[in-house]
A and B are shown apart, each in its own frame.
Chain A
């Protein structure tokens, strides 16, 4: 079955770069996503990448995809205290339902 795994916790200092890692098992994954969840809020899509890409950059966010190793990472440059949240990796396949399979989330704590 599908499985998405992430480390549970990451702590960085303000101004440093953060790298959040994710591995997945479904080789038919077509889309891979990073969502952010702040306390008491729903999920906010940060960025996504198609499986035929290996990198995507969007302002402070860089997504790297190693399809061979089924490894996805999210790099946040110049991390700010407002980036403190839970970050979820998710994948979906190219089927009609388009539902997402999520990892358990990585809690990012940014120290001032």
Chain B
């Protein structure tokens, strides 16, 4: 248990569905991240929120839409996804100013059918 909780753990959705992934941390961190882990690629950074403000968006398609309503919660809203979006989506949090380790959730295994 790292202190970062992601729900759901598994998600199967059709290409026309809309769903959201949720991440929650109660570690007192002020930076949160979404990463994508595909089968044959290194972990890819998708979005960074620092102090609830999006500070980085790594050219992610608009069918992925992040939301950070407060420093403890992070969402990834999904709509009209493609089969190639099937992956493990990992949330992480850290203390932005200190720059030590990031703590990861267990991930949401997403399958797009």
Contacts and interface: CB of A to CB of B under 8 A. Distances in A.
Do A and B pair up? The answer is yes
Given A44-B2, A105-B42, A100 B102 contact: yes
Contacts of B50: 96-98
Interface residues of B, number: 29
- B interface secondary structure, majority: strand
Given A41-B106, A42-B105, A44-B2, A99 B33 contact: yes
B48 interface: yes
Given A92-B99, A94-B99, A105-B42, A99 B104 contact: no
A98 B93 CA distance: 10
B92 to A, nearest CB: 8
A100 to B, nearest CB: 6
A102 interface: yes
A45 B102 contact: yes
B42 A97 contact: no
A94 B103 CA distance: 17
Contacts of A76: none
Nearest to A41: B106
A65 interface: no
A90 B104 CA distance: 13
Contact of B55 (A44, A94, A97): A97
A87 interface: no
Given A42-B2, A42-B107, A44-B2, A98 B45 contact: no
B31 A98 contact: yes
B106 A42 contact: yes
Contacts of B35: 102
Contacts of B97: 96
A99 B48 contact: yes
Interface of A: 4, 30-31, 33, 35, 40-45, 48, 88, 90, 92, 94, 96-105
The 4 closest A-B pairs by CB, nearest first: A102-B43, A42-B106, A43-B104, A104-B42
